Amino acid sequence: MLGIEDLSVSYDGVPTVVGASLEVPDGQVLAVLGPSGCGKSTLLRAVAGLEPPSSGRILWDAADLARTPTHKRGFALMFQDGQLFGHLTVARNVGYALRLRRVRDADARVAELLALVGLEGYADRLPATLSGGERQRVALARCLAVRPRLLLLDEPLSALDAGLRQRLAADLRTILTAEGTTALMVTHDHEEAFTVADHLAVMRAGRVVQQGPIDEVWRAPADPATAVFLGYAQVLEGSAAARVRPGADRLAVRRSAFRLDEAGPLAGTVASVRTTPEQVRLVVDVDGVGEVDAVAPLDRVPAPGAGVRLALDATRTAILAPTT
């Protein structure tokens, strides 16, 4: 199990990671989610042994790794660009570390991994002939080849287009589960984190502001900034929150939390309308609340300026702790 205790990292005296404490149980995947510049990649590099901590500890099975160099930690690091050897075939890229270690049955392990990542028949191809998604699959297979104690994933899918990223995120989850791999992934994409990981840690300005099982973090964001970063559309506060959900002081709502409903309790005026292939997306100025996002079926398209009524789907909201 990976343990991170009160870890801080600084560059030229400027704190980049501040007091981070995390755990990754064996066989689990932890995603560290945060915007660019929040310190998540620095945290990953510190775990790998590539950045020296200014304070705190990094542990594996309770053993302090402070004096353990990168190449002896038993960790594998996968970058967003894969960093394949362009002059080696797919099979030789995947088997590179196995050959260095003179592992028996290396060819069988390579074949097993190529099948696992969906690249059977690609063994003799060169990286230049592969798509971006295929190159990332090769990079993942290479990292898994020596069965690392911990796999470190630095924005592994960020260089891919959105559709491919979604497909590969699901495949990555399946592959890591099949191998029983313990992994720490950093990403700025909350959908990617939700798909791949078991647990989530949210970083902001160098600090871990919330962590826990993904469903718990999603249901109860720590604060408005975390809620918006996780994908909620907005956070209603004070009387606006209480009008929508009585008793709430701060309420995070998703874009689809409000829906057009003639019997709904909330009245408002349509400010804008946008039709998508699945539904109609509205912005409605609700009495006593302000502007909110709402949805309507494709066969009901109100005009801007029309009066409408809305109902709330409470499962698409999260009540935040009141301000102190």
pLDDT tens column, 46-71: 999 999 999 999 999 999 999 999 99
Q: Which of 196, 226, 256 is the last residue of a domain?
A: 226
Taking the C-alpha atoms of residue 144 and residue 119, their distance in angstroms, rounded to an integer, is 14
pLDDT in tens, 267-312: 999 999 999 999 999 999 999 999 999 999 999 999 999 999 999 9
Q: Is the pLDDT of residue 159 over 90?
A: no
Are 111 and 62 within one domain? Answer: yes
Residue 201 CA: distances (Å) to CA of 11, 49, 185, 213, 256: 22, 20, 10, 9, 25
Are 218 and 73 within one domain? Answer: yes
**For 73, phi and psi rounded to 5 degrees?**
-80, -20
Residue 192 CA: distances (Å) to CA of 130, 136, 140, 150, 187: 23, 15, 16, 19, 8
DSSP symbols for 23-47 = EE-TT-EEEEE--TTSSHHHHHHHH
Q: Which of 175, 198, 226 is the last residue of a domain?
A: 226
Residue with tokens 């149980």: 25
| CATH number, domain with residue 313 | 2.40.50.140
Are 217 and 294 within one domain? Answer: no
Are 260 and 154 within one domain? Answer: no
Taking the C-alpha atoms of residue 30 and residue 22, their distance in angstroms, rounded to an integer, is 9
Are 198 and 61 within one domain? Answer: yes
Are 76 and 213 within one domain? Answer: yes
Provide the CA 277 distance to its chain's centre, in angstroms: 27
Taking the C-alpha atoms of residue 157 and residue 189, their distance in angstroms, rounded to an integer, is 9
Domain span holding position 42: 2-226
**CA angle in degrees (0–180, nearest 5) for 242-316-265:** 45
Number of domains in the chain: 2
Nearest CA among 289, 297, 283 for reference residue 266: 289
pLDDT in tens, 81-106: 768 999 999 999 999 999 988 888 89
H/E element, 288: none
Q: What contacts 182, CB < 8 A, 6 or more positions away?
A: 1, 2, 24, 25, 26, 27, 28, 29, 149, 150, 151
Are 288 and 179 within one domain? Answer: no
Angle between helices 106-116 and 132-144 (to 10 degrees): 140
Are 74 and 208 within one domain? Answer: yes
Taking the C-alpha atoms of residue 74 and residue 226, their distance in angstroms, rounded to an integer, is 33
Are 189 and 236 within one domain? Answer: no
Are 99 and 184 within one domain? Answer: yes
Are 222 and 259 within one domain? Answer: no
Q: Which of 191, 226, 261 is the last residue of a domain?
A: 226
Confidence grade of residue 324 (pLDDT, cut at 50, 70, 90): low
pLDDT in tens, 205-259: 999 999 999 999 999 999 999 999 999 999 999 999 999 999 999 999 999 999 9
Are 297 and 193 within one domain? Answer: no
If you compute the radius of gyration of the chain from its CA atoms, what whole number of angstroms results? 24
Strand partners, 85: none
| CATH number, domain with residue 62 | 3.40.50.300
Q: For the chain, what is the mean pLDDT?
A: 94
